[in-house]
Amino acid sequence: MTKNTAHIAIVGGGFSGTLATVHLVKLLTETKSAAKIYLIEKTNKLAKGIAYDTHCDLHLLNVIAQEMSAFPAEKDHFINWLSKRFSAVSPSAFISRKIYGEYITEILETAIATKGEGVEIEFVSDEAVELSADEKQLILASGRAIDVDRVVLATGNFEPTAFAANSGATTSDVYVNNPWSHDALNNLSPNDNILLIGTGLTSVDVAVQLYGAGHKGIITAISRHGLLPNRHRVFNRIDGQVPAEALPSVLPTKLRELFSLVREKCDKAVCVDSDWRHVINEVRPQVQSVWKNFDITDKKRFLRHLRAHWEVVRHRIAPDVANIIDELREDYRLRIVAGRLQTITVDGNAAQVTMRLRKSGRVQTASYRRIINCTGPDLKITSTSDPLIKNLLNSQAVAADDLGLGIQLDEHGYAIKPNQMRSETILAIGNLRKGQLWETTAVPELRGQAADVAHQIVDSLFLGVVTRNAVERGITSV
């Protein structure tokens, strides 16, 4: 390491890691600072991550284009990018996720092309597995050791927890634990019956992908409540609006009171010829502050009883995607089941599955050619298979938060050790902040966190707090 040159490792090359890199490059260039950035990504999904590394044109963003700028200070950045490539794009359009991946890729390419002389970027196709005890070297799976001054954990979501009803079944090719792998739907015949474990956004993605591929077999999706994500509605100016006083400026700090209020306002919105989605949209920006004000009992109660109900109204799907799901259900090609899986027994290239229905308690048995785990990311950090996170926890370089959803962090994103001392090396973006913020995996939160982490690093390594105001806040495009 040369004098006055900082070494910064960003672990994870998806949306969060890419935006952190972009902001770092911009700030380092503006301040004429010398640094080498290592962007470490173990897959080939650089700049796209799981969400935007799709080959299916029917996979659409769950948010309108107007709200998907990578730079919050430039609200029209994504719209302007689209307008240069397509003839007419409505701000309220739901764009292909594949196209959005191209957008993020181009942002990274632009940052590289405009970086200062003292800024170097190395893309590392490897997996980070360990941080040395003095937090000065990051060890990769290949055995390579990278000198580091700062490490940004932008690992994204973890894989789902494997279904444990039958370990023999989960090790066969009938079962797929990672629904985002490109071979999840390989070796299927058009008429094969498929079981999806989960009925959330991931199941919708898989069902839509099967639809696009011309699949004709029956798709069964099962979850405890059998709840599907609601559809988005695009509002115009003549649509009924919820009165401005629909929600108070300060929301209740008790879970029961908050949900009673939200339910009441949703009912009221329907009665005045408006839409419950307006109420949810009002709650959305306040989720982080509400979550921080909940006590630990209410947080656990939410996770146990209300999370599934909240997520189907909060994480809505594009109207065109909802239309496909409706068509599949009307044609009896998609069956939604509320219940629990009992057993999975592999028989040749298929599996016999028994499930107990929620309301009746009746047990059903059926045969499926493929079972895909669509339960969503594993929420428990203590059960993750990620080697770096496991080693950081075991070495007490970081500590799990009180709920075990992520790691303990200070207000600036620095990791807090079990002894309550702050790490001066480790920062985190995104999913690892879930216990602290809950709402931390969507673009509005991630783009802000990426910019803030970049500022924290440049301030601490080069500038100092007193000169921060002299630098333009790095939440605009390069």
For residues 171 and 32, is the Cβ–Cβ distance under 8 A?
Answer: no
Angle at 337 between CA 377 and CA 180, to 5 degrees: 30
Bridge-partner residues for 341, per DSSP? 355
pLDDT at residue 474, rounded to an integer: 43
For residues 160 and 373, is the Cβ–Cβ distance under 8 A?
Answer: yes
**Residue 383: which pLDDT band, with cuts at 50, 70 and 90?**
confident
Bridge-partner residues for 11, per DSSP? 40, 153
Angle at 215 between CA 213 and CA 221, to 5 degrees: 110
Distance CA 29, CA 114 (A): 8
No. of H helices and E strands in the chain?
Answer: 15, 16
pLDDT at residue 244, rounded to an integer: 47
pLDDT at residue 248, rounded to an integer: 84
- Residue 470 scores a pLDDT above 80: no
- Residue 472 scores a pLDDT above 50: no
**Beta-carbon count within 10 A of 440 CB:** 23
The helix or strand, by DSSP H or E, that contains position 389, with its residue range, turns out to be helix 387-394
Backbone phi, then psi, for 455, in 5-degree steps?
A: -65, -45
Q: Which DSSP letter does residue 113 get?
A: H
**Residue 445: which pLDDT band, with cuts at 50, 70 and 90?**
very high
Region of 346 on the Ramachandran plot (φ > 0 left; ψ -120 to 50 alpha; else beta):
beta
pLDDT at residue 379, rounded to an integer: 84
Residue with tokens 């890419």: 18
Name the amino acid, one letter, at 232: H
For residues 325 and 212, is the Cβ–Cβ distance under 8 A?
Answer: no
Q: Which DSSP letter does residue 48 get?
A: T
- Residues ≥6 apart with Cβ < 8 Å to 231: 316, 317, 318, 319, 321, 322
Distance CA 72, CA 74 (A): 5
- Residue 203 scores a pLDDT above 70: yes
**Residue 400: which pLDDT band, with cuts at 50, 70 and 90?**
very high
**Beta-carbon count within 10 A of 292 CB:** 12
For residues 377 and 157, is the Cβ–Cβ distance under 8 A?
Answer: yes
Average pLDDT over residues 319-343: 96
Average pLDDT over residues 260-264: 92
Name the amino acid, one letter, at 321: V
**Residue 159: which pLDDT band, with cuts at 50, 70 and 90?**
confident
pTM reported for the whole predicted model: 0.91
**Residue 243: which pLDDT band, with cuts at 50, 70 and 90?**
low
Strands annotated E in 216-330 = 219-223
User: Six-digit token pair at 236?
Assistant: 């115009």
Q: What is the DSSP string of 76-103?
A: THHHHHHHTTSS---TT---BHHHHHHH
**Residue 180: which pLDDT band, with cuts at 50, 70 and 90?**
confident
Lowest mean pLDDT of 110-124, 203-217, 338-352, name the range. Answer: 338-352
pLDDT, averaged across the chain: 90
- Residue 478 scores a pLDDT above 70: no
**Residue 56: which pLDDT band, with cuts at 50, 70 and 90?**
very high
In Å, what is the CA distance from 77 to each residue of 105, 110, 117, 406?
A: 14, 14, 26, 31
For residues 345 and 169, is the Cβ–Cβ distance under 8 A?
Answer: yes
**Residue 467: which pLDDT band, with cuts at 50, 70 and 90?**
very low
